Chains A and B, each alone.
Chain A
Amino acid sequence: MAATYTPIASTILGVNASSITFSSIPQTYTDLIVIFNGRTDGDENTNLQFNSDTTNNYSVTALYGNGSTVTSNRDSNVSSIGLGGISSGSDEQGTVIVQIFNYANTTTNKTVISRANNSTYVQLRAGIRRSMEAVSAITIKADSTTFLSGTTFNLYGIQAGNA
């Protein structure tokens, strides 16, 4: 059986940046995984867009716990999929793991499930882009702030076996 879960690209920010884009993504995998770890200089929330689409084609359902309560909410008709927060603390690092399923097909809208973890809460999210277009670019954005130098971003591809 062939090995998979293949590193595609990675970046360690040398300077603060408001977003990072993985472009020209190979169309040869089944699923994509994006993992980023680090912090921002303000609002810790992050979000995702596909193929430079900034229109209100996205929505997301969230579940999060902060150590005392469990809450769920939803954003509909929004311009990105909210992924939850990493960290804005002085020395805290947060991690977000994003799973993008069947990104290269042209028969389904694109579904994303993700989890965000930091010292404040843990979040689970399910989001969608209402487009059957294959995903060739992924932009990860900090919400009204910047990712700090040292934040890492990794993209992996998982290729399913033969049908």
Chain B
Amino acid sequence: MAITSLSTSSLVSGVKRRRVWDQTATTDGFFQIATTTLNVAASSITFSNIPQDYTHLHIRGIARSTTAASSVNTILRFNSDTGANYASHYLTGNGSSGISGNETSSTYIYTGAVIASTSLANSFEACAINILDYSNTNKFKTVATLSGWDANGSGITGLWSGHWRSTSSVTSIILLPNQNNFAQYSSFALYGIKG
């Protein structure tokens, strides 16, 4: 039997509520899940036991690396999978030229370039990471990131995309710099999007 959606919508306190055909009330929107802010430097940040009842995930963060360099890359893995099941593409600008590249059969997804310890003090990279259909078990998982930092004379901005060749639902996410640690005050927040 085909089911036709009989929905009505209303706006209550800024949150869209939808009553679907069986009168089950659902709430669409952008929801807080978890936040980690580092009081001391740490090698990674992990979100685990991620609820499976959202459509997409969104991570917003600021980060800095303790590595003695101007910047290093940030990387992401799902479900503790360290196999060569990932790939990435990127388009970045460094203040003088645009650069595009890719990495295939890698053990991580690139999610941006993070400012490091020889660059301007107290300055952090900012990133917004989207993870689409993370709980869908019929698809490989796609990640899209907008990220950048500037240090008054140096900086990188750009887009990064990646995929994980797995149909497993994403239940945990680890973010880490590809060298050394995230610095104190690095902070990442995980959100869920419904609707």
A residues with a Cβ closer than 8 A to B are 1-7, 30-31, 59-65, 70-74, 76-77, 99, 101-102, 105, 107-109, 111-113, 115, 124-128, 130, 132, 158-163
Contacts of B14 in A (CB 8 A): 3, 6-7
Q: Which residues of B contact A (CB under 8 A)?
A: 14-15, 27, 29-37, 51, 60-62, 91-98, 100, 120, 122-128, 146-159, 185, 187, 189-192
B72 to chain A, nearest CB (A): 16
Structural contact, A125 and B157, CB atoms closer than 8 A: yes
| B168 CB to nearest chain A CB (Å) | 23
Compute the total of residue contacts between A and B using a CB distance below 8 Å.
174
CB distance from B44 to the nearest CB of A (A): 16
The answer to whether A99 touches B27, judged by C-beta atoms less than 8 angstroms apart, is no
User: Which chain B residues lie closer than 8 Å to A76 at the CB level?
Assistant: 152-153
Minimum Cβ distance to chain A for residue B61 (Å): 8
Taking A1-B33, A4-B191, A109-B123 as known contacts, 10 extra A-B pairs with beta carbons closer than 8 A to each other, sorted by chain A number, are A59-B155, A62-B93, A63-B158, A73-B93, A101-B126, A113-B146, A126-B147, A126-B156, A159-B32, A160-B187
Q: Is the CB of B35 within 8 A of A160?
A: yes
Given A61-B94, A115-B146, answer yes or no on A1-B152 (Cβ-Cβ < 8 Å).
no
B61, B91, B95, B120: the one contacting A109 at CB < 8 Å is B120
Q: Is the CB of B149 within 8 A of A111?
A: yes
> A2–B190 Cα gap in the complex (Å)?
12
Which residues on the B side are within 8 Å of A112 (C-beta)?
126
Q: A111-B126, A113-B157 in contact; A2/B31 too (CB < 8 A)?
A: yes
Residue of B nearest to A7 (CB): B14
In the complex, which of the residues A62, A113, A161 has the most CB atoms of chain B within 10 Å of its own CB atom?
Answer: A113
Distance of B113 from chain A, by nearest CB (Å)? 10
**In the complex, which residues of chain B have a beta carbon less than 8 angstroms from the beta carbon of A111?**
62, 123-126, 148-150
In the complex formed, the residue of A with least CB distance to B146 is A113
Least CB distance from B50 to A in Å reads 11
A107 to B51, CA, bound (A): 31
A161 and B34 within 8 A (CB): yes
B45 to chain A, nearest CB (A): 11
Interchain CB contact under 8 A, B153 and A108: no
Distance, CA A60 to CA B149, complexed state (A): 8
- Are A130 and B31 neighbours in the complex by a CB distance under 8 Å? no
From known contacts A1-B192, A63-B98, infer whether A130 and B120 are also in contact, taking CB-CB under 8 Å: yes
Contact A63/B32 with A126-B148, A126-B155, A126-B156 known, Cβ cut-off 8 Å: no
Q: Are B126 and A61 in contact (CB under 8 A)?
A: no
Q: Does A128 lie within 8 Å of B157, measured CB to CB?
A: no
Chain B residue nearest to A105 (CB atoms) is B185
B194 to chain A, nearest CB (A): 9
Contact assessment for B97 and A72 in the assembled complex, using a CB-CB cutoff below 8 Å: yes
B120: shortest Cβ distance to chain A, in Å? 7
Tell which of B33, B61, B100, B150 touches A128, judged by Cβ atoms closer than 8 Å: B150
State in angstroms the CA–CA spacing of A5 and B15 once bound together. 10
Given contacts A7-B14, A124-B93, A160-B189, contact A61 B30 (CB under 8 A): no
Task: List A contacts of B15 (CB < 8 A).
Answer: 3
- Could you show 24 A-B contacts with beta carbons less than 8 Å apart? A1-B51, A3-B30, A4-B31, A60-B150, A61-B94, A63-B158, A72-B92, A72-B96, A72-B98, A102-B62, A107-B185, A112-B126, A113-B126, A113-B157, A115-B146, A124-B148, A126-B148, A130-B123, A130-B152, A158-B60, A160-B189, A161-B33, A162-B34, A163-B34
